[in-house]
């Protein structure tokens, strides 16, 4: 079964491209939107979504005029590096996962960032954390 919340957040044209790109990637396990910001007001939005499926990690970059989908195979992951920032919260300090770099056996790497502040919600941050946990 397809992840309904993901389908509802996608524009139809982007969702069709995504479906073609992941025809054999397996079920969506989780996803999150890293950012969604105005590109040019009269032209719409630019989005960056990360999707984790049973077999791959996908990066969907959607601009007003193009869609770019990069697929990284999960069985090629050799390292997942987590980067935290330390923030003061009232009278104590906390660490916040801010960035994750995934390195693959072919030498490529991809960087997943915590959702931008203005798009950051408890649900979206939880989805980011879930995706990172499932990566390993």
Considering only CA atoms, which of 95, 98, 103 is closest in space to residue 83? 98
Rg of the Cα atoms in the chain = 16
pLDDT tens, residue by residue, 3-24:
555 555 566 677 788 888 878 8
Task: Tell me the per-residue pLDDT of 57-113, one tens digit each, with 9 for 90 and over.
Answer: 999 888 777 888 899 999 999 999 999 999 888 899 988 888 999 999 999 999 999
pTM above 0.75, yes or no: yes
Tell me which residue of 61, 60, 59, 55 sits closest to 73, measured CA to CA. Answer: 55
b/e per residue, 70-108, with b = 16+ CB within 10 A?
Answer: eebebeeeeeeeeeeeeeeeeeeeeeeeeebebebeeee
Q: In terms of Cα–Cα distance, which of 107, 96, 106 is closest to 132? A: 96
Q: Residue 58's pLDDT is what? A: 92
**Is pLDDT of 1 > 50?**
no
Confidence of residue 41 (pLDDT cuts 50, 70, 90): very low
Q: How much is the pLDDT for 22?
A: 79
pLDDT for the residue numbered 136: 81
As given in the structure block, the two tokens for residue 97 are: 């996962």
pLDDT the model gives residue 48: 86
Q: How many domains does the chain have?
A: 1
> Which pLDDT score is estimated for 4?
57
Lowest-confidence pick of 54-58, 61-65, 118-122: 118-122
| Owning domain of residue 15 | 4-135
Q: For residue 104, what is the domain's CATH number? A: 2.30.29.30
pLDDT given at position 23:
80
């Amino acid at each position: 079964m397809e992840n309904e919340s993901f389908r509802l957040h996608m524009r139809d044209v982007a969702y069709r491209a995504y479906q073609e790109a992941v025809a054999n990637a397996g079920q969506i396990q989780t996803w999150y939107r890293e950012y969604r910001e105005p590109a040019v007001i009269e032209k719409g939005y630019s989005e960056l979504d990360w999707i984790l499926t049973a077999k791959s990690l996908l990066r969907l970059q959607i601009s007003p005029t193009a869609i770019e989908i990069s697929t990284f195979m999960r069985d090629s992951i050799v390292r997942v590096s987590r980067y935290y920032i330390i923030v003061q919260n009232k009278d104590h300090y906390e660490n916040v996962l801010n960035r994750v770099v995934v390195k693959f056996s072919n030498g490529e790497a991809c960087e997943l960032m915590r959702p931008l502040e203005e798009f950051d919600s408890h649900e979206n941050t939880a989805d980011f954390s879930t995706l990172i946990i499932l990566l390993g």
